[in-house]
Amino acid sequence: MRILIAGCGKLGLMVARALVNEDHDITAIDTDDLALERMEELDTLPVKGNAVSISTLEEADVKHADILIATMRSDESNMLCCIAAKKLGAKYTIARIRDPEYLKNMSFVTQELGINYVANPERATAREISRMLRLPFVTSGVETFARGLVEMVEIRAQGDEIFAGIPLADVFRARKNLPRVLFCGIKRGDECIIPKGDFIIREGDSVFVAADYATLTAFLTQVGKDNKIARDALIIGGSRIGYYLAGLLTESGVKTKLIELNEEKARRLDENLKSTNVIWGDGTDQELLLSEGLKNADAFIALTDRDEENLMAGLYATRVCKGRVIVKSNRVSYSELLSEMGLNSIISPSQIACNIMLRVVRARCAGENSGVERMYKLMGGQAEALELIVPEDAEYLGKTLTDLEVDADCLIAVIVRGNKVIVPGGSDHIEADDHVVVITKRLGVVSLEDILK
């Protein structure tokens, strides 16, 4: 597909890299020479200019664009760019819009302004963190599928769990009362593994597990993972993520404190977040953190605008806080190193936004009736989890999974039929309109046919 990316910052670069790897024809628009040089290194076509300008869009051949993705810093610029692009002939537009005021009128933005899809990384990140706090023992985000009926989490194996040290095929035979989940993926060092029945989990493995929420919670409890829900949380950084997260947490009954360095911003947050205790102060100050109850907090979340401050505050919190420590950082390449230093829960708004946009592009590639419903990057981007909707005319309908030849680097993890969640075995089959969760190491999967031999 011909895709235009307007704005070559962190998010634009991340999206471009992913789309180039999937063999799309990418044109990048920006005013900054250095940003365009980085894009050109990815084998994209650079166009220097303001992406809101009609002449710049025409130079980028917007009229032949299948998709335009606007990721500039300004919400207004992204909206104007998308509106102009549609008028000039672009078939589909995606805009990053982050301001809460615009999102209160989302129907106007999409219907009246004609912007096809709006991505809000900050709100999506806040939702991800709130889900993580429901399952405190998971080491990364909680991925959801099929309208929230299925959840997938990552846990770190200590080696003494009842599922470790024996082949996965024997786990539920040996422990018949153990709630049945699916072991979807394993990250062992730098290796990404789609496990089969003979695979044995070892100490230090990062294990991805999927099931419905009740089954998943019961499983984690039985294998000795503490699932105590957070009752209070301390947030530093009054960013948009902090604003969204504080609202979500207080709505769910979590006692929340938010520390913001900027006095004016702290005052505005205090006015808009009636149920949150907003404190004006330096959230990286250790004495302030201790005085506000860091030691006994069930959760500490660092969300300042500077990744370095978040990481330093997070490292300090892991030493003194008894609860969960979550840190915002867009430096995803450092996640393994940070994990070794004790920071196991790193969340990246850019990666979340990139996943959202890739899912939308995949859906457009497969056509208007595409089966791609959800898509998440796993294990540092080495694998993907996809939710696919089964069409009525699929050739594999009614065949048992034993009869289907699934590629070795792929796994059918969960089948959702109506409101019923099925952790599939060999005798299970797929029906029309099923939601099927697939784990794959292949790029560009848009249907079940893509993973069948």
* Burial state string for 184-205 with b = 16 or more CB within 10 A and e = fewer than 16: bbbbeeeebbbbeeeeebeeeb
Same domain, 287 and 383: no
Domain-embedded: residue 395:
yes
Residues 316 and 381 reside in one and the same domain: no
Decide which of 138 and 19 is more confident: 19
Check residue 369 and give its pLDDT: 47
Express as a percent the part of the chain with pLDDT over 70: 95
Task: Tell me what the pLDDT averaged over the chain comes to.
Answer: 88
Tell me, yes or no, whether 302 and 378 share the same domain. Answer: no
Each as own residue / partner, the long-range contacts of residues 418-426 (CB below 8 Å, 24 or more positions apart, any chain) are 419/149, 421/146, 421/149, 421/150, 421/211, 421/212, 421/215, 423/180, 423/181, 423/182, 423/210, 423/211, 424/182, 425/401, 426/400, 426/401, 426/402
Residue 212: inside a domain: no
Look at the chain and report how many structural domains it folds into. Answer: 3
Let me know whether 293 and 388 are in one domain. Answer: no
In the predicted structure, residue 353 carries a pLDDT above the cut 60: yes
Q: 308-330, pLDDT tens digit by residue?
A: 999 999 999 999 998 889 999 88
Choosing from 73, 96, 119, the residue where a domain stops is: 119
Query: Among the listed ranges 90-104, 108-122, 331-345, which one has the minimum average pLDDT value?
Result: 331-345
Q: Are residues 396 and 317 in the same domain?
A: no
> Domain containing 311 — which CATH number?
3.40.50.720
At residue 422, the 3 state secondary structure works out as strand
Whether 360 maps to a domain, the answer reads: no
The pLDDT assigned to 366 comes to 63
pLDDT in the model for residue 81: 96
Task: Select from 119, 144, 179 the last residue of a domain.
Answer: 119
Q: Residue 214 domain-assigned?
A: no
In a domain, 235, yes or no: yes
Query: Does 211 fall in a domain?
Result: no
- Domain for residue 250, yes or no? yes
Q: Let me know whether 19 and 108 are in one domain.
A: yes
Query: pLDDT, tens digit, for every residue of 126-178?
Result: 988 988 887 666 666 678 888 888 988 888 888 888 899 999 989 888 787 88
Q: Which of 101, 119, 137 is the last residue of a domain?
A: 119
> What domain range is 259 assigned to?
231-322
Task: Assess whether 11 and 108 both reside in one domain.
Answer: yes
